[in-house]
Amino acid sequence: MTKDEIRSLLERCLTREATGFSPPTEQEWKSLEDRFDCKLPSELRDFIDLMAEYSFPGEILNVGAGPNNGNDTIEVAYEYEIEWNPSWAPTMVPFYSVGNGDYFCVSSKEGPASPAFYYDHDRGEFKAYADSIKNWIADLPNFLR
């Protein structure tokens, strides 16, 4: 799925931010991937880049500290969960905080081929939600209904 295809899908199911924010820089992406010792799925990078333009329910976590929507960064959310949540798997990288303590994540161990995982904080479990980030994004119109 290309960035333009992701943008087209987002246009159909989200509203634009009143004020656009800056997408993460290449250096911020490199720093994040170095931190988790992995390559992230390209569709996830494109999706998060585009979140600088759209309003999304819950919190799409930020990559860097540049001008953004004020949500936590991926690293801040990860560090909090690692410190305070004994059921958090160290290989899980959160990218979307649903707002109730649950997250969508990718696995640093699986890298670009990672499924999208859903973390249920009540059960302390990670479950595969979609077999790829591409398919997670493609299902967003259904998820957001």
DSSP for residue 112: G
Show the tokens assigned to 14: 């989200």
Q: What's 10's domain CATH number?
A: 3.40.1580.10
What's the pLDDT band for 19 if we cut at 50, 70, 90?
confident
**Full domain range(s) for residue 123:** 3-143
Cα separation, 37 vs 59, whole angstroms = 24
**Each residue's pLDDT tens digit, 25-71:** 999 999 999 999 999 999 999 999 999 889 889 899 999 887 778 88
Number of domains in the chain: 1
Question: Which of 12-21, 81-90, 117-126, 136-145 has the lowest average pLDDT?
Answer: 12-21
CA neighbor of 65 nearest in space, from 73, 53, 55: 73
